């Protein structure tokens, strides 16, 4: 195993320990706090790289806050699954990616998109349903994609991305490339059959995939203890497939990087898959349509996480303590992120809507590229 025992899990479970089915808060007080700043992958960070981690996290948060604002006034339709509170997971794990590493996620995909290098303008335009969007206004919030950045998108079907992440790993091994596929899923997806089938094949074929469970405690609106059967943690299910696993405190960016690096290196060099469970928290509901999120969570619980476990606040504090940057300089980075998010709205509003003629485009590759296969059979019911 990457790590034994459940100390990180118990410590990180604190934000939602009010649940009568969760770990008692009293068991957390004696848990020692480990410092992962001295791990090789973190000691190698330059000052600019540390600031870039902060910059990416605040860019995600400011983008999400602006998206929420315009969703609530009816300018954005469909669903909106916000990543606020979970920023350190995408930023910490994806900061370890190299040329041959790929990633794929579920429908809470905005943070992964921004961290992968996508600009705010096409992302906001996609939320507004405009032709300049990253998916030409046809995908919306759940379907951000950038294959050119090795980011294979958000997927709306629960657990549907897990066999696709497996396929990315298979491709890396087949092409003899030293890389790793990071496949993200929520704690509510761990009981899907496709996920377990993927774990079985990953272990049998020894494929370089790391499954990252972003455990925010409640799936769609039911606590983990009430929805999933497990002994110590969700990641421990990996033992049934003879896979490596670990549990990570998602509020600690250094810990996210240190432990994820171990799993990714093992995947790249030994073709060994793994499951990482990163405990985290979402400030809002499962989606903005989740009107009951303050009924199955107490206001005190949400405030506790914001005040004591917020990843941006903790990383900001760490940078100041290390003497890397001043409060004023961090504020400048934050203000730049706000301005970028506001500018993306103006870009989206000024962009054209998709045309009626484009409705049949981007459905079948064969028809878009007029291949011989496009002349065989019927691709559309309207033919």
User: If you average pLDDT over residues 251-280, what whole number do you get?
Assistant: 98
Write the pLDDT tens digit of every residue in 193-235: 999 999 999 999 999 999 999 999 998 888 888 889 999 999 9
- pLDDT at position 295: 86
Instruction: Assign domain 7-352 one CATH number from 3.40.50.1110, 3.40.50.970, 2.60.40.10, 2.40.40.20.
Output: 3.40.50.970
Output DSSP code: residue 190. Answer: T
Estimate to the nearest angstrom the gap between the alpha carbon of 213 and the chain centroid: 9
- pLDDT at position 19: 43
Q: Where are the domains of the chain?
A: 7-352
Write the pLDDT tens digit of every residue in 170-201: 999 999 999 999 999 999 999 999 999 999 99
Q: What tokens does 122 get? A: 């096409």
Q: Which residue has the higher pLDDT, 30 or 196?
A: 196
Q: Which residue has the higher pLDDT, 365 or 134?
A: 134
- pLDDT at position 125: 98
Write the pLDDT tens digit of every residue in 81-116: 999 999 999 999 999 999 999 999 999 999 999 999
Q: Which long-range contacts (CB under 8 A, 24 or more apart) does 337-342 make?
A: 337/55, 337/58, 337/59, 337/61, 337/62, 337/63, 338/62, 340/59, 340/62, 340/63, 340/120, 341/59, 341/62, 341/63, 341/65, 341/66, 341/120, 341/124, 342/66
Instruction: Identify any residues that bridge with 151 across adjacent strands, giving them in sequence order.
Output: 103, 146
User: If you average pLDDT over residues 148-152, what whole number do you get?
Assistant: 97
In percent, the amount of the chain with pLDDT more than 90 equals 78
Q: Say yes or no to pLDDT of 13 above 70.
A: no
* Residue-by-residue DSSP string for 215-274: E-S-TTTS-HHHH---SS-SGGGGGGGT-EEEEEETT-HHHHHHHHHHHHHHHHHH---E
Instruction: Identify any residues that bridge with 214 across adjacent strands, giving them in sequence order.
Output: 186, 278
pTM of the model: 0.90
- pLDDT at position 377: 64
- pLDDT at position 71: 96
- pLDDT at position 307: 94
8 Å CB contact between 328 and 70: no
Q: What's the mean pLDDT when you consider all of the chain?
A: 90
Residues contacting residue 209 through CB under 8 Å, at least 6 positions apart: 165, 166, 168, 169, 180, 181, 182, 183, 198, 202, 267, 273
- pLDDT at position 5: 32
């Amino acid at each position: 195993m990457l790590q034994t025992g459940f100390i990180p899990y118990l410590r990180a479970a604190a934000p939602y320990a009010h649940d009568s089915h969760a770990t008692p808060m009293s068991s957390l007080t004696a848990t020692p706090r480990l410092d992962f700043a001295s791990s090789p992958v973190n000691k190698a960070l330059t000052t600019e790289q540390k600031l870039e981690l902060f910059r990416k996290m605040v860019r995600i948060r400011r983008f999400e806050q602006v998206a929420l604002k315009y969703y609530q006034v009816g300018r954005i339709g469909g669903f909106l699954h916000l990543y606020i509170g979970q920023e350190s997971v995408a930023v910490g794990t994806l900061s370890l990616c190299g040329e041959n590493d790929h990633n794929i996620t579920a429908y809470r995909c905005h943070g992964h998109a921004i961290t992968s290098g996508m600009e705010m303008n096409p992302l906001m335009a996609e939320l507004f349903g405009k032709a300049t969007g990253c998916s030409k206004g046809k995908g919306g919030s759940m379907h951000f994609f950038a294959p050119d950045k090795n980011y294979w998108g958000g997927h709306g079907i629960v657990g549907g991305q897990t066999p696709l992440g497996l396929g990315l790993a298979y491709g890396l091994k087949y092409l003899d490339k030293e890389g790793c596929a990071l496949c993200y899923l929520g704690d509510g997806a761990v009981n899907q059959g496709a996920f377990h089938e993927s774990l079985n094949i990953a272990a049998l074929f020894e494929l370089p995939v790391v499954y990252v469970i972003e455990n925010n405690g409640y799936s769609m609106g039911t606590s983990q203890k009430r929805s999933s059967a497990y002994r110590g943690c969700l990641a421990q299910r990996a033992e049934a497939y003879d896979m490596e696993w670990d549990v990570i405190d998602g509020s600690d960016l250094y810990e996210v990087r240190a432990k994820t690096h171990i799993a990714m290196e093992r995947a790249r060099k030994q073709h060994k898959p793994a499951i990482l469970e990163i405990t985290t928290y979402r400030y809002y509901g499962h989606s903005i349509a989740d009107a009951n999120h303050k009924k199955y969570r107490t206001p005190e619980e949400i405030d506790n996480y914001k005040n004591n476990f917020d990843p941006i606040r903790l990383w900001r504090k760490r940078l100041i303590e290390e003497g890397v940057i001043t409060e004023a300089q961090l504020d400048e980075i934050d203000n730049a992120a706000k301005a970028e998010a506001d500018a993306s709205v103006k870009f989206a509003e000024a962009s054209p809507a998709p045309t009626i003629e484009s409705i049949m485009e981007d459905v079948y590759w064969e028809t878009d590229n007029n291949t011989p296969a496009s002349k065989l059979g019927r691709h559309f019911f309207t033919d």
